[in-house]
Structure 1
């Protein structure tokens, strides 16, 4: 990570560092190069971290932060043995993914690479790190935390307090890769403010997916319905809901919440009824609807795509070509193929 010299570092608690007023939603990007224990106070978005060095720091600790009113990402690369403590802001939760193999412990429990550190609302950050520790943490308001619980079909007491969730290797690799991709999107948004909205939507969607996964890994799965007719009814009900909301930038969590089912239940219903995941099925519905609209109208591809809830035009074009064998720009406008 490349950072500017110490004199150019901006601190989140400095009132002079405001959100970008041109961005929608408001957005702030911060880089920190931390040389002294006192400077660690800004290392957790929205909180005041207390750090005590337990060994000499070999080189400055680096922290990069992307902050919005409803979501914050912190990327950490630490080069010191230290004791850390930070009360979370009221009504906020945080989940941290350990990326390094360096030793760390939280609430007295060791956590290695692939560990997901889950701090429910009201549960402070309390741990010890060693040189080489690296992590990505995401902070969210309690509304998102509870939304993920509902999606997982979990009881409210599933997380009675701080917990370490060990991710299966493939889950960890996917999570780490997706979070790096989100970091790239947010970086792009710092240079292109018009992309802030789509970057934050994607970041929020994946955060919900990751936190829902944490709830699911902590929850003992209940029995799924053995009734084929019930599964078919749920899949068709979801299909109708998708059709009715294709003009919106839908996500699978929104569908689950609207239908009051867990993500696992919806996945099972779609796999057994349509032999497709809900996400792939929704994408196919949207692409088919866009193709029909292109064949029947003379509007531009961009206009039609945006009218059908597309938020990433480049990815849309790739998916369209993969499904129909041609780019959307090659589809004849205002004609029905015979």
Structure 2
């Protein structure tokens, strides 16, 4: 059974960015916040296609990032990583053939490794459940709430990846299909088939539930909120220990476990990201932004900034946000879509 007629035309988007925060703002309908963790110039790419009740996208990032995301209202998320193990979703380690399964309106926390590569479908939950009852003759609601990660066989994972890749490639090479309701509905139905079959064949992998990172994740989130609430105060590790009522050793273990950086580095990186946000979004002078976030020694600040972002703050200040976000080259977009199908 095909999904109901779409209430909006299909849409296709492909972009490349050189800023993690701008990358986070690219995905239509999503609320996202990215914090770059590894050092160097950032390059992110996104290809997205909207098919009425179905949204499919592929995102690649060259730097490790800590991501806080929430999808469109009423839509669940099904996806997988293409870059192998190394990432963490909801505090749990992702395996090579792990299927993301997240219910609607759940706040997502994803630590992406360097050279992250993911393919995801965001689906109207009611449409997905109705489709599953027809295809599988069962209610898959428990699967959406069971666990954020489920195991797939290599064959099932490949089939899922290729179907989503076909949807992206078809939209990239023949954008006119998105203007015709019949082709739009059929393509959405094929993506729903792939998601339903992957869910039906997935298995709960108890190995994915043993890691305790999700406990430490809450500590990191509380620490970040504490730092952001004290703009200009430049809190210390001791301040965090007192606020969170933890020992210095316990705090260090939590941060290394979740983000693979120390609390000292985390405090500095949060402040550097807020400085960069002011430079890119507000266009303020670099010295003004640095002082606002407690960096009083501008020489040392510039060294830290360049080490993390791969450029001096003065360069960032001279490069407006729109110059850091551009349409993805058609050849590159086609290559990314082909990798999903042929890889």
Question: Any stretches of 5+ residues in structure 1 without a counterpart?
Answer: 1-22, 221-338
Verify the 8 A CA contact 2:57 2:120 in the aligned structure 1. Answer: yes
Q: 1:186 to 1:197 in 2, by over 3 A?
A: farther
Match of 1:127 in 2: 110
1:211 paired with 2:195, answer: yes
Name the CA distance, whole Å, in 1 between partners of 2:197 and 2:177. Answer: 31
Match of 1:103 in 2: 86
Q: Which of the pair has the greater relative contact order for Cα pairs under 8 Å at 6+ separation?
A: 2
Give the drift of 1:195: 6.6
SS at match of 2:142: coil
Match of 1:310 in 2: none
**Structure with a larger share of its residues in helix:** 2
Verify the 8 A CA contact 1:102 1:132 in the aligned structure 2. Answer: no
Match of 1:200 in 2: 184
Q: 1:135 to 1:121 in 2, by over 3 A?
A: same
Equivalent of residue 75 in structure 1, options 36, 40, 58: 58
1:146 paired with 2:129, answer: yes
Verify the 8 A CA contact 2:99 2:150 in the aligned structure 1. Answer: yes
Match of 1:166 in 2: 151
Q: 1:73 to 1:194 in 2, by over 3 A?
A: closer
State the TM-score, normalized to the length of structure 2. 0.51
Name the CA distance, whole Å, in 1 between partners of 2:8 and 2:126. Answer: 18
Correspondence 1:47-58 to 2 at 5 A:
47-58=30-41
Q: 1:69 to 1:179 in 2, by over 3 A?
A: closer
Equivalent of residue 176 in structure 1, options 132, 157, 161: 161
Q: Report Cα offsets for 1:249-280 as digits up to 9, x if no partner.
A: xxxxxxxxxxxxxxxxxxxxxxxxxxxxxxxx
Name the CA distance, whole Å, in 1 between partners of 2:140 and 2:79. Answer: 22
Q: 1:203 to 1:110 in 2, by over 3 A?
A: farther
Verify the 8 A CA contact 2:152 2:202 in the aligned structure 1. Answer: no
Verify the 8 A CA contact 1:185 1:199 in the aligned structure 2. Answer: no
Question: Any stretches of 5+ residues in structure 2 without a counterpart?
Answer: 1-5, 205-343
Verify the 8 A CA contact 1:100 1:112 in the aligned structure 2. Answer: no
State the TM-score, normalized to the length of structure 1. 0.52
Correspondence 1:271-286 to 2 at 5 A:
none
Match of 1:86 in 2: 69
Give the drift of 1:44: 3.6
Verify the 8 A CA contact 1:158 1:218 in the aligned structure 2. Answer: no
Q: Between Structure 1 and Structure 2, how many residues are aligned?
A: 197
1:45 paired with 2:9, answer: no
SS at match of 1:122: coil
Correspondence 1:295-310 to 2 at 5 A:
none
CA-based RMSD? 2.7
Equivalent of residue 189 in structure 1, options 137, 160, 174: 174
Verify the 8 A CA contact 1:148 1:208 in the aligned structure 2. Answer: yes
SS at match of 1:46: coil
Q: 1:50 to 1:103 in 2, by over 3 A?
A: same
Q: After TM superposition, where is structure 1 displaced by more than 6 Å over at least 4 residues in a row?
A: none
Verify the 8 A CA contact 2:97 2:157 in the aligned structure 1. Answer: yes
Give the drift of 1:169: 0.8
Give the drift of 1:176: 1.9
SS at match of 1:160: helix
Q: 1:219 to 1:101 in 2, by over 3 A?
A: closer
Give the drift of 1:197: 3.6
Give the drift of 1:45: 3.4
Match of 2:120 in 1: 137
SS at match of 1:117: strand
